Chain A
Amino acid sequence: MLGPSLKRQRRIKPILLQIAAIVTFVAMIFPIYALFLTSLQPESVIRSRDVSFFPSTLYFAHFAEVLSPGHIVPIVAAIGNSMIVSILTATACVLLALPAAYALARLPVPGGRFILGGLVSIYFLPTILFMIPLFIAFVNRGLNDTFLGLVLLYTGFILPFQIWILRGFIDRVPGELDEAAKLDGATYLQLFVRIIIPLVRPGILAGYLFAFILSWIEFLTPLIFTNNLKVSTVSLGLYRSTIDIQVGQLAAAAVLTLLPVALLTLIFQRLVTRVFLAGADK
């Protein structure tokens, strides 16, 4: 028997849920929608007070202008720079983190638990704490304003997280596989190359993806370590274009900056979720 109040609840609940769902959707999506809208409207419309939230025409000139080679802020070159730096960083991260993660997960590394604990807690320290001495060291060695300098810093900053991601995936490979291979006389290296690497391919993809995204969005490091427009990354380039007063072009540049990362997140949505939740099921 259900009480009358419970019955009423059963009837009202779906409506309330639906309203809550719509409110949540609008709150999460509206800022992004507003940005796309601004990037697709002529400057005169953006600046007028009767801008329409559901426009009937779209205007692509901002993108054309931002992408044209003569633009004040070379956003195309910046996208290229970010591609180079992000791909190099992601590659270096995976190459360095994979053996380390394997060793920490499977081999009797002296002080392994300590190293792992240290790596995880280091990631949570404020980045600014390291910046001043690093800046001095990099300037002394001529590493500021270079791709190499950025890749070194990004790789160092992302590695602890990367090792943590990959170790999570390696942990899930059943130990019996190792045991069986060891009985067949396989060395740790053979085990790593023949068994672990093929089995953690999704993990490697996830690690690569995260390192790429984190490098792409990094702002403080290039802000401090690069001055030369030639090595400007996309996030820095975007910030520099905020000085420009063309609102539509700024929005278009912002859309171009977020697009690669947003697309990767959407395409690999399940993988991203899995990495986030890796710690939750332990």
Chain B
Amino acid sequence: MTIPAVALVAGIYLYPAIRTVILSMSEFDLVTLEVERFVGFENFIRLFQSPSFLEILTRTVYFGLMIVALTTVLAFLVALLLNERFIGRTVLRVAVLLPWAIPPVVAGVLFGQLFHAEIGFVNAILFRLGLIDRYQVWLSDPNIALHVIIMLEVWRALPFMILFFLAGLQSLPHDVFEAAAIDGAGILSRIRHVLLPLVTPIALPLMIIQFIWAMKAFDSIFVLTRGGPGRATMTLNYYVYQQGFQNFDLGPAAAAAYVLLAVTLVVVVTIMIIQRILAKRGL
């Protein structure tokens, strides 16, 4: 009964994954769509000799880690908030779910309009508050453009993580926290010594998923900046797309795709090791 499903998955994943290995080690003829020449690791070597590729590599890791860190911290705080009592809690619980329902392309359009140089609300608000003295061209600043995309990804990723943290918090005995409070522990030390050890086991697997998603981010970059200005918002994923489907440089693109996989695996394994160490320490 598993055969049809497994066969399709193998056809869509396994076969191309193996073909990509072959491609990454060849020179490719575009007219015949055939492998022309086997070049071994040449494509990989050339990538790593290029300073701009190394820049993309570093940026990709920074991009992923920033998204993971910001999403984790913010989601944790919002989950803490949602676990308390206040007016409008039910409304807020639905509201924090909504960004998940926004298709990534729409999110791209939406942030594009928010940060637009002439019609963007970000400019309008900051200008009215007197924080800027003239309208800024946000997305043409390399540094700001990258962080606008990070912001978009965090905004879209938050609902998923908030849900998990909230479920985790609700499964905790509430009196653990109260008891610590009555013992005179301040709010920070309560979070540090009571809550964090209980929440870390939930957080680490979520961080892995989050990082993998960040490595797959494409739509937002494509719609907002197309990797620019210059190459300021180019991540590995986008680079593979550009090399493969715009420049039709299939060999290097395939090699870069495997570098992306390696980056993902290295970070994921590192997080897993941290998880093990923390588990051994009883956290």
Contact = CB atoms under 8 A, between A and B. Distances in A.
Interface string A60-104: 000000000000000000000000000000000000110110111
Contacts, number: 251
Contacts of A224: 241, 245
Contacts of B33: 136, 139-140
Contacts of A276: 160, 163-164
Q: Which size bracket describes the interface of B in this complex?
A: 35 or more
B101 A258 contact: yes
B258 A152 contact: no
Chain A's interface: helix, strand, loop or mixed, by majority?
Answer: helix
Given A21-B92, A242-B223, A159 B101 contact: no
Contacts of A250: 109, 113
Interface in B14-30: 15-17, 19-20, 23
Contacts of B202: 280
B39 to A, nearest CB: 16
Contacts of B261: 125-126, 129
Given A219-B104, A242-B109, A24 B81 contact: yes
A127 B236 CA distance: 12
B164 A280 contact: yes
Contacts of B91: 25
A115 interface: yes
Contact of B4 (A96, A254, A266): A96
B179 interface: no
Interface string A126-149: 111111111111011000000000
Interface in B92-136: 92, 94-114, 116, 118-119, 121, 124, 127
- Among B19, B119, B187, find the residue whose CB has the most chain A CB atoms closer than 10 A: B119
Interface string A100-129: 101110010100100100010010111111
A177 interface: no
A132 B23 contact: yes
Given A100-B4, A133-B20, 13 more contacts: A2-B182, A25-B95, A28-B158, A47-B119, A119-B9, A124-B209, A126-B261, A130-B16, A131-B16, A219-B219, A239-B222, A257-B105, A266-B94
12 contacts: A17-B84, A18-B86, A20-B81, A32-B98, A32-B110, A34-B110, A96-B4, A130-B16, A132-B244, A239-B105, A269-B97, A280-B202
